[in-house]
Structure 1
């Protein structure tokens, strides 16, 4: 196969991994990673690396399973046991409205920051409502094709601006000398809720692994090319590890520009957005403020659209397979409507509680992560995949370690919530 042919094949495969990365870079990176650096310096880097490493197999399984079988993980759940599908549907229903509300609320802050919009407290809901309606219309009219094209443009823009700010920050050095203290001296039991929230969406919630399997199938239908397992996994891994790298970049920006200075990021969506944009502008120059503000908003908008599409697409699919019927085209639209309305209802309840909404959504995602991890492990190492298509022994050991890691921290968090 010539280099030009290989590149054409790669372009036909390219999409799901980039979509995953662009969706992941939203709240977990812009909000949580930046705050981790600002409040703890580099003390939480180990938790970020661990979350990325131990979650990786379960996301990779989505692309692997779809490429090997031509089916989504959701179809696989049903084939192993109808109870798996019911459990997945329950998880979706428990999380979708909170997650959609959280990413929309963050995006609304970047929207107001970009256009310098000031609103009375009674009108705070308007930017979020506009974004919910825009995301709905975008997906209802364009579906995957428009989503795929838009995310590639948005992701490229944010990648370049983030790396520029990161390298300039490294060159200039920290605002205050960073003193490396023992981990035990910086982190106590009171830090546990933030650590769990940080890992909850680092780099994304594990239940979104089903989205990646659906996006892999949709990209294949769109391009007319069925990628091999190797090609599909390579494309996904490229997006995954790019998002992992960027999570560390945001930690560095928070640590270098805020840690030890006495300054902090505000506890509201608009103030937080302004603080993050100012971090970038401080490194790249004040003339870049509008560019960075636009980049921050567009990446959060991409996250909003990706999250809404993922939940609508996966919920419509799981109900169809549970019923044993062909998926109705209207089902996707109906779930878009319900997610829009449910997200707005949650937003109206948390309008004055930015950090609490983000922490609640990310914590819910982390607590259900071990369940999805077990389902994905059970599915990929089943008779559905040939030995040649299954991951190797090292990935199998890593996935078992990941289940243990996620399960242990979930139990610790439940203990803290109950008795802490």
Structure 2
């Protein structure tokens, strides 16, 4: 992907293209003042990576390691590259066009608006309960004599609500960075304690597909870090103050560092699964409770201190996902409401940038969705999830990542994107492969639903 830059082609003299969108201008000289990539700028990528990696993802990785040892290490590496390509495409759209991702979706037709509206309501309702329960599990394990799971779930949801309600992006990013540090230290520490087999690790980089490993392989490539929060990356990029193509190199460094960190998480958990569970034929529960099982195994093998440290890392993983969704998806919903109010006319739509995000963080739509994520889902903590809701959530969720991949391919190869920033052959190849991968995962997920 060439790191060149150009004008946005959205000025008043630009000729309209299909769907009323302005045609991008021809490539010109690089913009003045292009920022040099620097580690000091890193932030939004860490936020999106931490939000996308939940406790359930780590359990799936552990189970893959326990079933197949190091054999699927290559799939974790490919998954990291897929996420880098997707997040880079989201960030590139925001910086190259000065418009939000929802602007782009709307330009593709009303079907995108309808899909997003239904998805964000149902997904938020079910995810809210899932995130609160996941964050409460390690707290209950750390304080077994305290309140029960439902009480702690409500507490974590309310803490997330209050934190996001009264803080804006700068504070949010700092807290997320601390949690990523805790996650990183704990996961890598546990992987080192189990003494990885380096020879087997490197051998696992050779693509091999053992019998019965297809679903685990697809899950490793597509599952970890792959959620609606990948689409929120562009909003966090704007919240950081990056609003035009002069920030492109910075965004790319930020994105690569973040997903390489995610790759290390995945590899470390695969090592733990291979060394601690595979060799001992220990089975874990599926879902978030598998990490409680692992905590018990760690306590038996390495003592109480290591087990407690792991539970702290488990909490950091779960709670960072909770507040990441509370902030990022609420921003997307606020932008959705803004764009629907403004209509299709580009001149009525506020440009993407820090000022727009700052206003949206205090908007009624942002706070309404925050409340939607927090209070209605609490009912699901006492009730079994209604059958129809589970089906709807599963189907809509399965289709989101193919939706994101395909729409990014469409937007970044069209006149909606300045010519200089359209997809290269590498970007098209990675996004095409991601779309195909997520489509296969979608079919598998829908087929496994409790129809």
Q: TM-score, normalised by structure 1?
A: 0.80
The CA deviation at 1:200 is 5.8
Q: Please give the alpha-carbon distance, in whole angstroms, between the structure 2 residues aligned to 1:358 and 1:27.
A: 19
Distance 2:392 2:111 in 1: 26
Match of 1:300 in 2: 318
* Residue in structure 2 matching 1:169, options 155, 170, 194: 194
Who is 1:101 aligned against? 129
Q: How many residues align?
A: 393
Distance 1:371 1:219, change over 3 A: same
Partner of 1:335: 369
What is the aligned counterpart of 1:249 among 268, 276, 282?
268
Corresponding residue for residue 427 of structure 2: 395
Greater share of residues in helix: 1
* Alpha carbons 1:197, 1:363 under 8 Å: kept: no
Note closer, same or farther for the CA distance 1:350–1:23 as it changes in structure 2 (3 Å cut): farther
Structure 1 residue corresponding to 2:139, chosen from 98, 107, 111 = 111
Q: Deviations over 1:73-92 (max 9, x none)?
A: 11222234343233222222
Displacement after TM superposition at 1:262 (Å): 3.9
- In structure 2, the residue matched to 1:77 is 105
Would the aligned equivalents of 2:96 and 2:245 in 1 still touch at CA under 8 Å?
Answer: no
Deviations 1:2-54 (A, max 9, x none): xxx958x542x321101012112322543221232234434554554454444
Query: How many angstroms apart in 1 are the aligned matches of 2:92 and 2:408?
Result: 11
The question of 1:407 aligning with 2:435 is answered no
Partner in structure 2 of residue 18 of structure 1:
46
Distance 1:91 1:370 in 2: 14
Q: In 1, distance between residues paired with 2:78 and 2:381?
A: 31
The answer as to whether partners of 1:198 and 1:362 remain within 8 angstroms in 2 is: no
Contact residue 55 and residue 134 of structure 2 kept, 8 A: yes
Worse overlay, 370-379 or 258-267:
258-267
Q: Which has the larger radius of gyration?
A: 2
Task: Give the counterpart of 1:57 among 85, 92, 115.
Answer: 85
Closer, same or farther: CA 164–415 of 1 in aligned 2, 3 Å: closer
Give 1:332 shift: 0.7
Counterpart of 1:124? 149
Cα root mean square deviation, aligned: 3.7
- Bigger shift: residues 252-261 or 341-350: 341-350
**Structure 2 CA distance for partners of 1:359 and 1:275, relative to 1, 3 Å:** farther
Check 1:161–1:414 CA distance in 2 against 1; reply closer, same or farther (3 A cut): closer
Gaps of 5+ in 1: 175-181, 352-356
Aligned mates of 1:359, 1:263 — CA distance in 2: 31
How far the C-alpha of 1:411 sits from its partner, in A, is 3.1
SS of alignment partner, residue 228 of structure 1: helix
Provide TM-score, normalisation by structure 2. 0.75
- Deviation of 1:172 after TM superposition, in Å, equals 7.7
**Whole-Å Cα distance in 2 between the matches of residues 359 and 168 of structure 1?**
41
Specify whether residues 20 and 362 from structure 1 end up closer, same or farther in structure 2 by C-alpha distance, changes over 3 A only. Answer: farther
| SS in structure 2 at match of 1:38 | helix
Query: Quick one: which of 225, 228, 239 aligns to 2:247?
Result: 228
- Residues 256-267 of structure 1 aligned to structure 2 (within 5 Å): 256-266=275-285
Please give the alpha-carbon distance, in whole angstroms, between the structure 2 residues aligned to 1:254 and 1:347. 30
Superposition deviation, residue 406 in structure 1: 2.0
Using the TM superposition, name which of 87-96 and 131-140 deviates more: 87-96
Cα gap change, 1:86/1:349 in structure 2, threshold over 3 Å: closer, same or farther?
same
Matches of 1:290 and 1:383, distance apart in 2: 54
